[in-house]
Amino acid sequence: MQYYRLHFPPTHIPASVYIGKRYLARHTPHYYQPTDVIMATVPRHRVSVIGGGGNVGAATAFALVAKGVPAEVLVVDVVDKAAEGQALDISDAAFMMPGTCRKGSFTEAGQSDVIIVTAGARQQPGEPRSNLVDRNYKIIKSIMDSLHPIKPSAKILMVSNPVDVLTDIAQKTSGLPREQVIGSGTYLDTGRLRSSLSDITGVSPTSIHAYMLGEHGDNQFTSWSSARIGGHPLLEHPKMRGVDLDSIYDKIQQKAYVIIEAKGSTYYGIGICAATLAEGLLNNTSQVFPVTNYVERYGCYMSWPAAIGSNGVEQSFDVKLNGEESKKLDKAINAIKETCSRYQ
């Protein structure tokens, strides 16, 4: 394939990205001249998606490519044929993007910059996420053993459920520092919360600062007392008067079960969330997300706001809670610690 030497780059195409001949010839031929040399390329990161042959893994790998993350995305799965098929399909979407996608091995995955784990037993209709622990413990332990030796600077992003407990297990079995092993936590739940509040208030979800916290599961809770819009308490917004807060919470809690009942599993929402978190880790964005991270003051992994970057968790934040919310937090922490204690 020929590549083109960049002379006066158009603003819509980063000069740091090399782009294939057909796209440039069709869209911006007057800016480029043919050459056999790649003049400039972005640093090539590698992101591996373990369980990439399944729905969640494939959705995550596709989201990484579709978001334009400049990385080599490896699809890794114990079912080799499924990994190959998903990788080939996703690679067809990569020809206009800076990233690439191919099937990879567990050994290659262990040397990746970010390792996303989506493999695990599927949650059945009506089944609590906590019931998945026994089935997924052996799977996660086997995966971590297969990745060794793991690149010392690698970051592991757990997506498999129950994510708070499995993140703790992954950290212990991988041997990586706690700040380098995180989970998707309540990021998706928080997105559902903010979307619901957006429908009520008419404010963009990205401008609503409210979180689902504690545990990604039946013990998660909404931090209503600390929620803000434009620096003002959310609950003082005129359109929030008389709103049934419990109904909002119940709707968020049940949404995953409704989707599972209808189509067997959820994957698009969590796929884009996982890809966004991986992008933050690669690009050192220091954005704050409600992810599963080890919170020293509580002594366990839990879903809690943290800034993530190239070192993993850069810092974790305190959230002011009222008395009722503090009790819910204690309940979530106790549930996580009790389960983790069984898998030392």
3-class DSSP state for residue 303? strand
User: Which residue bears the tokens 């990021």?
Assistant: 187
Which tokens belong to 32? Answer: 């480029």
- Rg of the chain over CA atoms, in angstroms? 21
Name the active-site residue from 7, 45, 148, 216.
216
Q: How far apart are CA 329 and CA 223, in angstroms?
A: 10
- Which run of H or of E encompasses 26? helix 21-27
Q: Are 102 and 74 in contact (CB under 8 A)?
A: yes
Q: What is the DSSP string of 30-53?
A: GGEEEESS-------EEEEEETTT
Q: What is the DSSP string of 58-71?
A: HHHHHHHHHTT--E
- Which run of H or of E encompasses 294? strand 287-295
Q: Are 34 and 42 in contact (CB under 8 A)?
A: no
Q: φ, ψ for residue 126 (rounded to 5)?
A: 80, 0
99, with CB counted inside 10 A (0-12, 13-18, 19+), is: buried
Residues 6 or more apart whose CB falls under 8 angstroms from that of 323 comprise none
Residues 6 or more apart whose CB falls under 8 angstroms from that of 216 comprise 129, 161, 162, 163, 164, 183, 184, 185, 186, 189, 292, 303
State the first-to-last Cα distance of the chain, in angstroms, to the nearest integer.
Answer: 52
Mark whether 216 is an active-site residue. yes
Of 211, 151, 158, the C-alpha closest to 176 is 151
Report, as residue numbers or ranges, the catalytic residues. Answer: 216
